[in-house]
Structure 1
Amino acid sequence: MKPPTVSWQLFWAFFRIGIFGFGGGPAMIPLVRAEVVTRHHWLTDEEFADVLAIGNTLPGPIATKMPGYIGYRVGGVTGCIAAVIAIIVPMIVAMIVMLGIFSRYRDVAWIRGMGQAVVPVVMVMMAQLTWDFFDKSQAALGWLVSIAMAIIAAGLIYWLGLHPGWVIGAILVAALLRPAGKKKAEGAA
């Protein structure tokens, strides 16, 4: 039996995410990480964090930007197409079916409860992803810098209403403009 091609692996990985990714793009991020970093090892945690950060600065839904980039990086143009199709087909079918059910039976209590029951599960998934990113941040920057950056970002986003893309973009620009530290020559004491 012939092993599956990378495009098929990408398709099935993102198809699973599309099927189980209820709650929209942000709810899919932990599932994307599980498939891409943990299961298939296509990206490291650091690379995944970079893709997520850059994806959040660009316009459009994160649910298609991440599969598009990851698919392209892993499998070229065909990988990109496979990943994007795999992620959107289940969403389209689910949306059509669920909107039909919700509009027909919107007054039934268990139908209303279905949508509300997903929220705590998505909350736990997002909390786990947040903790993983914070853990990586404190390993790279230290506790004090990580906490200070989180507080400043929260203030800018939640209290001042600044779009997260502007905050991430400013951090990327600051990192690019920061003078590089002088590295010691190899073998120098």
Structure 2
Amino acid sequence: MNDRRKLHLSLFLVFLKMSPFTFGGGYALIPAIEREVVEKKRWLQVEEIADLFAVSGTVPGAVAVNSASFIGYRIGGVSGAIAALLGIFLPTFALMIVLSIFYVQFKDNPKIEAAFTAIRATVAALIAFAAIKVARSSIADFASGALAAVAALLLFTGIHPLWVVALGATAGILWVQFRGKKGKGPKIKEKEPVFDYMI
């Protein structure tokens, strides 16, 4: 098996391992992805994960599926995206079918209701933890911190998230142009190159 196939198999297995534990959706998956992709495999940096999740949340589809596809593509090209997508999708698909069957039969059981209540609380903690991790790698200065605060306030007003993302992107472009006129470059961290398997 050559290096490329090993990489694709590794991508498939990494996302296969994470997939059954993606309770709460894609954002709850961030800590697991960071641990596997950044800390263990060292395929990407934390900043890149934050960028990929930001893009995943702005396009149609499930965040977990989108992020797996983007990360797989970033690491292994089109075939890497397919490997990661299959890894994240297959176990979740099978698990949802099984859970749907059991949920219809036991949805009124007090123990099942209690279990789902506890799961919801745990998922809230996972998402909060993911938000803190992303914020630490994304907020580089006062301007980005202020932008994050404004975006949060806009979301609480009920504005569609797509508009918040669009406004954030526009504000970022304007801020970089403003800093350029002042003779200052944008505060962008240099990212190390990763695998060059793009096809």
Q: Considering the TM-score relative to the shorter chain, is it more than 0.5?
A: yes
Spell out the pairing of 1:21-40 with structure 2 (5 A cutoff): 21-40=22-41
Displacement of 1:32: 2.0
- Tell me what 1:20 maps to: 21
Report which structure shows greater RCO (CA 8 Å, sep ≥6): 2
- Tell me what 1:153 maps to: 151
Displacement of 1:50: 1.0
- Tell me what 2:122 maps to: 121
Spell out the pairing of 1:1-189 with structure 2 (5 A cutoff): 5-138=6-139, 140-142=140-142, 145-159=143-157, 161-177=158-174, 178-179=176-177, 181=180, 182=183
Runs (5+) with no aligned partner, structure 2: 186-199
Give the distance between the partners of 1:5 and 1:68, measured in 2 at CA: 18
Q: TM-score, normalised by structure 2?
A: 0.80
Displacement of 1:100: 0.6
For the aligned residue pairs, the C-alpha RMSD in angstroms reads 2.3
Any idea what the Cα deviations from partners look like across 1:61-120, whole Å, max 9, x if unmatched?
111111111111111222111110111111111111011111112222212222212122
Give the distance between the partners of 1:6 and 1:114, measured in 2 at CA: 38
Q: Aligned AA for 2:137? A: K
Shift >3 Å, 4+ stretches: 1-4
Give the distance between the partners of 1:137 and 1:79, measured in 2 at CA: 26
Give the distance between the partners of 2:184 and 2:114, measured in 1 at CA: 58
- Tell me what 1:187 maps to: none
State the identity as a percent: 36
Aligned residue pairs total 180
Give the distance between the partners of 1:42 and 1:95, measured in 2 at CA: 29
Q: Aligned AA for 2:67? A: M
Q: TM-score, normalised by structure 1?
A: 0.84
